[in-house]
Copies of this chain bind each other. A is one copy, B any other.
């Protein structure tokens, strides 16, 4: 499947919304974990399926439903019925290829994002889709496979420090989105390090391997940019949405995420410009090298080709070649060759060729 355009597996022209065909219904059941918390309490429930979740939710506590695994569409269909989630949202949740977005519904808002990681082995960025639906006192979090952002936020919830336990579902969603964006900060930091390290290397001692390094870094920056640029619009929409599930207090924190995203996008632009300049430097250095090589060849050839011709001339076996008979013919010729050769050297020196 292409990295630069993944497609959901739905056939063109099929019905909108979550499709429960035979294959999708028989997929692996998702793992369901529910956390119910308030200022002073935190309970964790591992459920066999989603149906038991609604009964766990309590009026004065916040619930966090963690869903891991998106193969079984039947389970998502059940979840949709239980929590009144639009079929288009459910479809987006089970689509690992959806670009980042924010969407505001009457009873919840929905955010989907890419969790990114940079594999230092093959120098490629990998992505995992995460989805967050925020309701009155409930956050539903969907991930294809276990992701670090969930673990980090769960740990903070367990420690009970800060206001994460008391600030409601909007703040929990903020914490999750912030963790996802923080990972992007790490990724762009690693890419920036790699770019600047190649640049230092090139300025010190250019070699042909730098070309592939530049291309691979450009490719990953393009990929990163594609995954992150829509996040800006999503966060901006969230801030301007006036959704009842985002309080004024929490909006300050979303603005902080926006700062991060802007910082990242500025860095992406700068890195693209720097990589462009590095490629231009590479290509021009190639040209310098070529000029040096060709000048060497031309100087040597231009000096010796005429001299060799003269030597060849007097190596001919004509019966009658008067110069050959002269007593000092050889030495006169050697002198002439020395003059011609020196003249050439002076000529090239004057032209600045070496």
Contacts and interface: CB of A to CB of B under 8 A. Distances in A.
Interface in A33-47: none
A305 interface: yes
Contacts of A269: 226
Nearest to A7: B189
Interface in A241-274: 252-253, 255-256, 259, 262-264, 266-267, 269-271, 273-274
Interface in A189-243: 189, 191-193, 195-196, 199, 203, 208, 211-212, 215, 218-219, 222-223, 225-226, 229-230
Given A286-B284, A305-B304, A317-B321, A179 B330 contact: no
**Secondary structure of the A side of the interface?**
helix
Contacts of A86: 252
Interface string A1-36: 111110100111111110000000000000000000
B98 A259 contact: yes
A277 interface: yes
A246 to B, nearest CB: 15
A285 interface: yes
A224 to B, nearest CB: 10
A346 interface: no
Copies of this chain, how many?
A: 5
Given A4-B274, A215-B281, A267-B5, A256 B16 contact: yes
A16 B304 contact: no
Contacts of A153: 13
Contacts of A189: 2, 5, 7
Contact of A325 (B174, B264, B319): B319
B7 A185 contact: yes
B13 A152 contact: yes
Indicate the size class of the contact surface on chain A: 35 or more
Interface string A154-173: 01100001101000000000
Which of A17, A215, A284, A318 counts the most chain B CB atoms within 10 A? Answer: A318
Nearest to A347: B296
Contact of A196 (B2, B10, B271, B291): B2
Interface of A: 1-5, 7, 10-17, 86, 88, 92, 98-99, 101, 103, 148-149, 151-153, 155-156, 161-162, 164, 174-175, 178-179, 182-183, 185-186, 188-189, 191-193, 195-196, 199, 203, 208, 211-212, 215, 218-219, 222-223, 225-226, 229-230, 252-253, 255-256, 259, 262-264, 266-267, 269-271, 273-274, 277-291, 293-298, 300-302, 304-309, 311-321, 323-330, 333, 353
Given A2-B192, A14-B182, A300-B305, 11 more contacts: A4-B271, A5-B271, A12-B149, A14-B152, A218-B277, A222-B274, A280-B283, A291-B293, A293-B295, A312-B312, A318-B330
